[in-house]
Amino acid sequence: MVSQSNGGSGAGQPLRYPVLDSLRGLAALAVVFHHIPAVAGLSAAGFDANFGRMVDLFFVLSGFVIAASYSAKLSAGFSFSRFIWLRWGRVWPLHAAMVTVFALSMLALGLLRPELRTHGLMAGQGDPTDLPIAYLLLQGVVPSLGIIWNHPSWSVSVEMLLYLLAAAGWKLAGSRIWMAWLTLAVAVLTFAAFGGAFSGLTSNIGRGVGGFGLGLVLHRAFERSSAPQLSTTVATALELAAVGAVGAVLWGSDSLMAFDLAATALVALSALQRGLVSRVLCAAPFQWLGTMSYALYMVHIFVIGRVFDLLAVLQPRLGVIIADTTIGGADALVGPDWQANAMKVLIMALCLIVAVPFARLIEQPARSWSRRVAGQAMPKPAN
């Protein structure tokens, strides 16, 4: 089951899959859980050791969704510049806002705590020389001198590159370009599966190509074939099997190929929306989480860091030990296990709370503005 939405482009009525928004929200929540450091509780048991792999689910989802929204339109003459503007307007404003928040906070920390300064007046491990790269959303594909400003944005940078490549392919070769994406995805995943060395920018781009390519090819398969007639029982069993396959990779091998294949199966079965799992994911709470997913993903590292900074100040005064932490240093929640688990949940909730104003005051207004500009000032699609 799908719904119709024009995505603000003003050209055609592409299909939209609400259930995939929920999957994106759950993936973002898993990444947040993974990024909260702990040496006790579920993390000490290795429960979330591989949850960073959920970023690769983003790539699969993006390949499928962007193909659903734009492959036919770009192949038929939709403006390349208009497409890029809409994508840029979707992700850049909130990204730029968070880079600014990070830079200002590190400047403030350097002014308050001179002993923590690393670059002039600025504290932290981010190099100010990297700020132009960060603001241009290139940090996932261009080398940085220091750590990435707002680390999760590397995947957004890679997605923008993939959008450019996909749009150029559709403009130049039309729908046939899916064969090139399949070849690239298979080559990358096979290379990784047989022990190929992926690191740094190579890893970033390789992970993106593998997942995005499979998602794009999956949508092509949806276009070229009729939906299978599955009963609710069979569809639910298949959905649960796909969820189990994703879980097995996360708690087992952490193989990129295995995860991407399992994630692609999960996206395919969810998009069919024939089983109970996908229907539950269309419920309002999961849909809301989906609308918050990008903001949650972009704000969570900053929120987590500031929570630990606050704990570093409060713990000595309160006489309690919740985390092993120092301002601007390495952090980790400590035991007992119930305390570490409870703190993880509380920090996740706080990340969601902070994400709401960033989504409503920055992300959503900027997205609406970019759509208006695209409709008024950008080149119109060809008839």
Query: pTM of the predicted model, to two decimals?
Result: 0.91
Q: To the nearest whole number, what is the mean pLDDT of the chain?
A: 90
pLDDT of residue 335: 85
Which CA distances in Å does 69 have to 62, 219, 223?
10, 10, 12
* SS3 label, residue 231: coil
- Rg of the chain's alpha carbons, rounded to an integer? 21
Distances (CA, A) of 322 to 45, 50, 227, 339: 18, 24, 51, 8
Q: Say how many CA atoms lie within 13 Å of 59 toward its Cβ.
A: 28
Whether residue 378 has pLDDT greater than 80 = no
Closest by CA to 106, choosing from 343, 242, 302, is: 302
Q: Residues 131-140: pLDDT tens digits? A: 999 999 999 9
- The DSSP element (H or E) to which 15 belongs, if any, is strand 15-16
Residue 376 confidence class, pLDDT cut points 50, 70, 90: low
Task: Report the candidate in 144, 37, 69, 67 with the shortest Cα–Cα distance to residue 99.
Answer: 144
- The residues near 200 (Cβ < 8 Å, ≥ 6 apart) are 143
Taking only the tens place, the pLDDT of each residue in 277-294 is: 999 999 999 999 999 999
Residue type, 148: I
Q: Give the pLDDT confidence of 310-369 residue by residue, as tens digits.
A: 998 899 998 899 999 876 667 899 989 999 999 999 999 999 999 999 999 999 999 999
Token output for 99 = 């880079």
Tokens matching residue 26 = 């759950």
The mean pLDDT value for 1-19 works out to 52
CA distances from 198 to 232, 283, 320 (A): 41, 39, 42
Please enumerate in sequence order all residues whose Cβ is within 8 A of that of 18, keeping only pairs 6 or more positions apart, or say none.
2, 3, 282, 287, 290
Spatial neighbors of 256 by CB under 8 A, at least 6 apart, are 53, 56, 189, 192, 193, 198, 207, 210
pLDDT at 100 over 80: yes
Q: From CA 265, how far away is CA 339, in angstroms rounded?
A: 36
